[in-house]
Every structure is written in C-alpha cells, then in structure tokens.
Structure 1
Amino acid sequence: MKSELLFMKQEDVIAAGVLDMKKILELVEKVFYLQGHGQIINPPKTVFGIPIGEEPQSHFFSMPVYIGGDINRPGTKWAAESRANAKIGNLPMGIDMVILSDPVTVQPVAIMDGMVITAMRTAAAAGVAAKYLAPKDAQVAGCVGAGVIGRTMIMALREVAPSLKQIKLCDLNLEKAQNLANEFKDEIEVIPTNSVEEAVTGADIVATMTTSKKPFVKSDWIKKGSMIIQMSSCEVEGGVVEKTEKIVVDSWDQMKENDLSIINQMVQQGKIAEADIWSLSDIVCGNKPGRENNDEITMFSSRGMGAHDIIIGDYLYKEAVKKGLGQKLTLWDEALWV
C-alpha cells in the first residue's frame, strides 16, 4: 500500500493561516484546557548540544506529543538553534520542523516548516497567560528583545490587552528596536530604547524575550499591580520572583528539567515552594484563580510546550488540504516488509 504525506514549505504554512494571531491564541488556550483535563501527553523535551566536550555551538531539541480530545493527533517537533547563524545573520538562529502522524496507522501525514509556528505559539502562550493574569486596564508594556519573539509578542499583547496604548521596546541594538517599532507604527505607539530600566520601569506588563544567560530585570523596577512575562530561563533577578504573588508556568514538568531556570533554582535553594508554582492549565480550567485584584504582581514563565506546535500544525495541515497547498511526497510505493 502506497504511503503519502504532505510537505508544507514555509510559504504554505503562511498561506494556511499561521500569522492569524487570534486563531493561534485560541489553539494555544485549547492546549492548556486539554492539559488541565488530562488529554495531553507532553514529556519533557530532550536536549543536547554539540560539539561534544566543548562549549555548544548548536543545540537540538526533540519534542514528542499526543493531543487527545477532539484533536486526536500524535506528532513531534524537531527544533535546532545555531549560534553561528545568529552571529553571521544569513540564516535564522532557530530552524524547526513539525511532523504529524496518523493516530491509528502511525504513518506520517505531514511534514512542515516549524519556524513561524514556533514564533507564533511562543508569544501566544504568553498572550493566554496575560489574558488571565495581566491588569485589565493595562496601558503600557515594557518589552525587552526586538527579535522574532519580540515581534510576535507585540502581536499577542495587542490581541489580549486591547487597552494598551504604548509599548517601550528595548534591545541592545537600538536600530533593531527602531526597525521593529516602524513595523507597528500604524497600529500602536512603540518607543525604542536600549535601556532595560527605561523599558521596564512603570510598565503594566513586562515581557522579556532574550537569549541572556544572566538576569537583568531588577525588582525595584517592577511596579505594584503589574505582570511579568519571562520567555527565557533567567532574565529576571530572584528578587522579582520573590516579589511576585502568583508564579505561573506553562509546564512545571518541563521547567524543572531546566537547570538555568531562575524559578527552578529558587525551588532547589528552598527560597520558594514547588507547591506555590501554578500551571496555567489550572487557571484556564478554573481550578485556580487568575488575577484577583489591581495590586497583586503576577508572573508567567515559559519553557515551551511541543503540544502548542502540534495543535497549530494539525490546524494548518487541515487548512492546507482544504486550500490545495503543499506538495505530496511518497514515503514508499510498496512497503518492503509487512
């Protein structure tokens, strides 16, 4: 029996609707809902760096997933990051693929570019968190990092916090922040800066999207009643975490495998209790409260869940079939051994 699958290049993924942030937010929130009802298998990602025995120049991540409920889709994300790409600038730092399989025959049904999916779902997870944890009348966001996730974070925050009037956007490369500000000039006021303190101080929502290995957001800059979004492992100092009244993560099972995580480090040091770390799925499902008053400081920290990539990939695959996008590939004409 012939085995065929659909290959979707990045242009096909875009044509299928991956840039629709409103839809991506809906899909990502559904994952948290299904996770809270025991319908997600999302084991901790496996990670390795190469070359062996040296400072890693490239990292590879495998993220197998099963989404139950009405989705019923197994799949995996294969992700990779290159420091050389980031330095030279002729290729993206992160290059990802999403693979979907049939739940019964286990044949692959689709392989697609996962780079834009990653960018969209990463910010969408923060967006879902902001829906439940951000101040309801947030006016100013302070964003640190004008890279790919900086762009999609602005997209997500504008959807979930329509009261936003201004975004202070910080990047060490001021020109990069200015260029991104220009992209959104007709949608919202974006003020570029290369000062983290300037971007963060007084912000109702603080979002960090960097590759920093050292914390740089100080607790003195965080105002009462704000929300902090940390998309990397250790962008905020421990004092920021201690100042927070609700610590929420996408997946504690994922995060506690990450030695660089400031939250994991503080749990190991006994500075915060593991029981005080909530899963966003519990809030989405109504088992835990979201923001309860105007004065509390809330925090969301993300490790990244492959389930978000797979639910988006499943949606895009079905849209591609409807629209006649992608290219059919043959895995085999007749299996050699059955």
Structure 2
Amino acid sequence: MTITTERGRVAGELKSGSDLLYLSRQDVEDIGITRDEILDLTREALVEHGHQRYEMPAKIGVHPYDNVFYHAMPAYLPGPGIVGMKWIECYPDNPRKFHLPQTTGLLVINDVESGAPLAVMDSAWLTAMRTPAVTVLGAAALHPGATTFGMFGCGVQGKEHVRYAALAMPGMETVYVHDTNEAAADALIAELQPELDLRLVKGESAEAVTKSAQVLSSATVILREPLAVVKDGWVTAGQTILPCDLNTFWDPRTSQRADKYIVDSIAEHELFASMGYFPDGLPAIASETGEVLAGVKPGRESADEIIVNSNIGMAVCDIAVGNAILHRAIERGAGTRLPL
C-alpha cells in the first residue's frame, strides 16, 4: 500500500468545509488496514522524513501531573499532500485507578488546499500499530539477518512488536519476552505462539534476555529519571537496541558508548533533553532513522557495532497511516458524517 494523494479521491466524497468523517476506535480497527500495509506506509513516511521532505515541529506538550503528558503532534507531507495532527495523552495509572487505557487520543486529517478538516478519528489503535512498525523497520535495516529478538514489556505494544518482528524480519527464529508482571509475559506467549511461525520464550530475567538476543526493544514507561533496568555490562558488541521509552529502561551509559546512536527525530530528542529526560546528557546523534531507511546515512557498518536506535514516535507516520484509514473508510462507507 502506498501513501495516497489526498484531494483527488476525497473531494468527491466529502463536502470540504461542510462536513467531516468521524471514525471511532471500532471503526478504525474494522477498516481492515493490515500490518503489512502499515509497514509500507510507515516506511514511505520515514523515507520522506529522511529526505527532509516534511514539516513537523517537535512535540508540543503539557504535563498536568509529573508522570503524565499531552502531546500535540502536527505534520505535513508535501509529496502526497497530507496534513494533520494527533492529540494524544498518556496516564500510566489509568488501568489501575480507572480501568481505562493508559493512552488515548484523536487524529485530525485536513484538506491541504482549503485547510478544512476532513476527518477526526481515534488514534489509539493507529499509535499502537505504527509504533512497532517503526521499531522493526529500524531493526531490519540496522541488523539484517537477525535470528533472535528480545522484547521488554508485554502489553499492547509488546505484543505488536512481536507480531511485526515476525513480518519484517524474515530470518527471525526466537523471540524472548520479559515483563515485571510475569502473567503478562505468559499471556503474550499464549496468545501469539499459535499464530506465529517462530519460538516465543519467557526470559528468566532482564539480564538473561539481554544476553540471549541480537536485537532488543523495550516498550515500558517514560520517566525523567532513568530506571536503568538493563545494565550496561550486560550489553555486548554487535547488539542492536531499539527503545520506545526514551532514556528510561536502559542504562544511559549504553547509549553514551554506543558506536551509533540513531533517533527518529533529532528535534524531538533535543526537546526531551531540554525537559530533563537525559540527566546525563543527550548522546551524540549519528543520524535519523529515516535517513538510514532512505540510504542517506549509513546503518550498520560492522558486525561488532553497538547501535542504539531510539524512536519515540513522529506525526509524519501518524498522518500517513491516518490518511490511508480515511481513504479506506470512504471506499467502504464507514464512519459517521458530521456537519461542521
């Protein structure tokens, strides 16, 4: 699936400036965008980003509580003509306190020519799907031929990372999973083992998983003070590490000594550093993920390199996937038309 030019197919279906399409979470999930399609859409968006064909300010945020954030994430992709914004928040205590998801949000897609909003849709499913797509695209580019993968965090993101790793990394044979909640790791294996043609193993400890896998990823929590669950001494030459939780889960010394520290967005990492999320300093950045996928900057250049690839999520990927969801919804007559 390729990124579709916006106006040609939408203008005839929506009265720009008069109505918009609302898509609930169930609508979005039922549209039928596959993981393979999301990998293609995300790859195209990252390549556009790597070639500097985009406009996307670093995440604008507010923080009502110390462990809570709201992010406004606008982006524009001039090539396919897509513009929109995601408004998303994270409340880590929601599941325990209110039996609500940790993360919820909305995505708006606008008409580039007139500026009129075309659609408003739930963004939780979209976010859960495009986040692991970025991780495994980075992993496949930075560690081709990898046969072992380690996943820390076995919630929604952890499950999708495992599914996407099976899709994007064809040589994958074994995935080790670990969660502080052992029941979550057991549940991941019970759910995914029957559908995947690879071996899922519950790691005995964070150290055991780290020492067992060539490629490692984490999707846990984002905090200003690093937890350093994975100790620097456990990481060895040739490993590729792809955190989705910024500077929290891994010993900061690993990122500082890595042969390459690659990020999805330099501007966003510099913003988080200015907010105190890198108390030991932001590591020297070698390149951006999109630059590697676009062939603008090198990825792995030797088998012994330690590479850390930090991806915290970019709006260019959100609007690319959201645009595809909008087009699919129009084709299928899904969603609810609302007057402006």
Q: TM-score normalized by structure 1?
A: 0.88
Alignment check: 8 A CA contact 1:139 1:163 kept: yes
Q: Distance in 2 between matches of 1:264 and 1:85?
A: 26
Matches within 5 A, 1:245-324: 245-259=259-273, 264-267=278-281, 272-273=283-284, 276-324=285-333
Partners of 1:262 and 1:142 in 2: CA distance: 28
Which residue number corresponds to residue 90 of structure 2? 81
Deviation at 1:147, TM superposition (A): 1.2
Q: 1:67 Cα deviation (Å)? A: 1.2
Cα deviation 1:129-187 (Å, max 9, x = unaligned): 112101x3322211110111101111221122121111111101100110011111121
1:8 to 19, 23, 36: 23
1:45 to 59, 83, 98: 59
Task: Within 5 Å, give how 1:22-101 maps onto structure 2.
Answer: 22-50=36-64, 55-56=65-66, 58-69=68-79, 71-88=80-97, 90-101=99-110
Aligned to 1:229: 242
Secondary structure of 1:41's match? coil
Paired residues for 1:125-164 under 5 Å: 125-134=134-143, 136-164=144-172
Would you say the 8 A contact 2:51–2:291 is kept in 1? Answer: no
Greater mean deviation of Cα atoms: 171-180 or 283-292: 283-292
Q: Against the structure 1 CA distance between its residues 227 and 57, is the aligned structure 2 distance closer, same or farther, given a 3 Å change threshold? A: closer
1:294 is displaced (CA, Å) by: 2.2
Q: Runs of 5+ in structure 2 lacking a partner?
A: 1-14
How far apart are residue 280 of structure 1 and its match? Answer: 1.4
Paired position in structure 1 for 2:256: 242
Post-superposition shift, 1:243? 3.7
Contact 2:207–2:234 under 8 Å retained in 1: yes
SS in 1 for 2:296: coil
Question: 5+ residue gaps in structure 1?
Answer: 332-338
Distance 1:143 1:57, change over 3 A: closer
Return the alpha-carbon distance in structure 2 between the equivalents of residues 228 and 262 of structure 1: 22
| Alignment check: 8 A CA contact 1:174 1:194 kept | no
SS in 2 for 1:185: helix
Please report the TM-score for the alignment, with normalisation by the length of structure 2.
0.88
Distance 1:191 1:224, change over 3 A: same
Match of 1:256, SS?
helix
How far off is 1:248 after superposition?
0.8
SS of corresponding position for 1:152? helix
Deviation, 1:260, is 8.3
- CA contact 2:273–2:281 (8 Å) conserved in 1: no
| Residue 106 in structure 1 maps to residue 115 in structure 2 | yes
SS at match of 2:326: helix
Residues 49 and 316 in structure 2, CA contact (< 8 A), matched pair in contact too: no
Runs of 4+ aligned residues of structure 1 deviating over 6 Å after TM superposition are: 260-263
Alignment partners' CA distance in 2, 1:267 and 1:284: 26
C-alpha distance 300-209 of structure 1, shift in aligned 2 (>3 A): same
Q: Does the C-alpha gap of structure 1 residues 116 and 260 become closer, same or farther in structure 2, counting only changes over 3 Å?
A: farther
Letter in 1 for 2:192: F
Structure-2 residue corresponding to 1:201: 211
Q: Secondary structure at the match of 2:149?
A: strand
Which residue number corresponds to residue 189 of structure 1?
A: 199
Q: In the aligned structure 2, how far is the partner of 1:218 from the partner of 1:140?
A: 19
Q: Structure 1 residues 259 and 86 mapped into 2: Cα distance closer, same or farther (>3 Å)?
A: farther
